[in-house]
Amino acid sequence: MTDTDKNQRKGIYLLPNLFTTGALFAGYYSIIAGIQAKFEMACFCIFIAALLDALDGRVARLTNTQSEFGEQYDSLSDLVSFGVAPSLLMFNWSLQHLSAVHPVLGKLGWLAAFIFAVSGALRLARFNTQIGVIDKAYFQGLPSPAAAAVISAFVWICVDLELAGADLKYLALPITVLTGLLMVSRFRYYSFKTIPFRENVSFIWVLLLVLVFVLLTIKTAWVLFVVFTAYAVSGILITTLSIKRKRAAKKSAKSTAITEKSANKDKPKQKSNES
């Protein structure tokens, strides 16, 4: 029996793919809830999908059940839960009302939603091709779960404040497009993969974690929106600071080289004068 036949006969690991299926189900139900104008439930389902998506990979590593099938299945699940579901949520809640103003604006509305969805697909495809190539400590582009969280938390806050999507359509349009473009950008985002979870940490970190949980129980949507929006902005700041440091290092290196050159030129002159 060849290796190909063995791989074809081999089954799939149940536990991690069960979490992935749960994330896919939550993303799909978010689409259904958005169509039925149950926007708060749609937002909640996207965050449930994000939680399950964060767990499936860790469960696979802990139980040593990683597989190529699981990686591909996870990407397809992410596309539905963090690409299609948030874009349709924003369209059903707000962007569709642009067509009532002008047909051209209506087209811009669904195009903005499509830009978010296709950006999520491109972001996932790029991530899959860069596994093991780029720096593990940073992501290139805003991760799709974080982008979906920004969109979902924004809608959730507006629903809590009883703000109609039709009244915020001109704000929803740039938020959708910009968040989508951040996914396919070259901004670097901290991945949190290098945090030493198994090592001892300061007691202050435990207190901060407890504070976050308390705030989540009081103002869930607000905390999620602030946290993920800050994370979306952090990539821009990290990349900008990194570019400035590199430019400063190049300038200092050039100035050092020029100084050394001029010093080397002056040495023969001094020797000739002495002779």
| pLDDT band with cut points at 50, 70 and 90 for residue 207 | confident
CA-angle at 230, arms to 229 and 235, nearest 5°: 100
Please check the confidence at residue 2 and state whether its pLDDT lies above 60.
no
DSSP character at residue 139: E
Q: Enter the pTM of the model.
A: 0.83
Q: How far is CA 234 from each of CA 33, 87, 229, rounded to the nearest angstrom?
A: 31, 23, 9
What Cα–Cα distance (Å) separates residue 164 from each residue in 39, 168, 173, 177, 197?
11, 7, 14, 20, 42
Would you state the pLDDT for residue 7? 47
Mean pLDDT for the stretch of residues 221-226: 92
pLDDT cut 90: percent of the chain above it: 53
**At 184, is the pLDDT very low, low, confident or very high (cuts 50, 70, 90)?**
very high
Predicted confidence at residue 196, as pLDDT, reads 63
The two structure tokens encoding residue 183: 């996914």
Distance (Å, whole) CA 162 – CA 41:
15
Residue 265 above 70 pLDDT? Answer: no
CATH of domain 3-193+202-232: 1.20.120.1760
Residue spans per domain, the chain = 3-193+202-232
- Percent with pLDDT over 70 in the chain: 85
Interval 96-133: pLDDT, tens: 999 999 999 999 999 999 999 999 999 998 888 877 66
pLDDT at position 62, please? 83
Average confidence score pLDDT of the chain = 85
